[in-house]
A and B are shown apart, each in its own frame.
Chain A
Amino acid sequence: MPTINSLDDLKKVREEALRKRDLKSASGQKQIIIGMGTCGIAAGARETMKAILEKIERENLTGISVTQTGCIGLCEMEPIVQVQVGDSQRITYGKVTNEIAAQIIDKHIQGGEIFKEYMINL
């Protein structure tokens, strides 16, 4: 993994990332959305997101975008993590601890398989 020390490095990383993205079709886009409302934060969503970012960094997982959303009205199920791979249906997971977050990345993001045990049926 290249390290960034200057603006030039940043530009190289940008070109590399753009090239990789062009190689992948749009259907390969992977998105993780974490519920970061007051309820999510109080339930530990920041630690869940931290675990996700650490895993991405540690295992050098590319092509995953990580974003946040507010309260979706399921406060009792927080921390909530939603996963969307390409054009497929967005899956919502509830009570996602650090360990479960790591498993969701392995099974769903990397393996393409829905992790049914923690899925919430909306």
Chain B
Amino acid sequence: MAEDLDLKQIERKTYMAYHQDGLWDLLIGLAMMSVILDVILGESGIYIVVIAGAAGLVPMLKKVVTLPRLGYVKFSPKRQSREKLNIILLTVLLTMTALLGAVMMSAYSGDAGWQRWIRDLRLIPFGIVLTSVAAALGLLWGIWRCWIYALLSLAVFVIGHIFEWRMTIHFAILGSVLFLVGLVMLITFINKYPKKAPEAGNDI
């Protein structure tokens, strides 16, 4: 029915309005670029700190940047349940990514058949995982640009494999793109929704 479709569109449009600030893109881009720093500093693990910090920073930035511009909203219980499920699925995916990273690292410490095979693949498994995570985000959150990120990730890792790029190049490219996209989105968002004067308290 047209009425049902319109309400779905209204709900979706309302929900998506709170995801056009570019904050996640900006911070994930920064986190990816921090992998380069980690390699330069001799695998100090600093990127883990940056990723954890970025993840914690987003909710705070949402309060400071997004909410004062779009206002407070409590979405429906259905939407909230879906959000929780999405976060659980994302956590599972990221955990699997971390485990894959550990497996790949262990491939460089031995000479078993499977370890040689993983070494031959170089960074392709990372590319597949990153592509899958981006595609999953696109599917779960309905954010179309995640599909673009998925394709970009796949392209970068395939080209990187062909030209035998170092890991830092992959993450520099992907991180820079995400960071720039996030920055452009944030600037556009701030211009589109300037902060309004706080309520006088006698609006109604």
Q: Do A and B come from one complex?
A: no
Seen from chain B, the residues whose Cβ lies within 8 Å of a Cβ on chain A are none
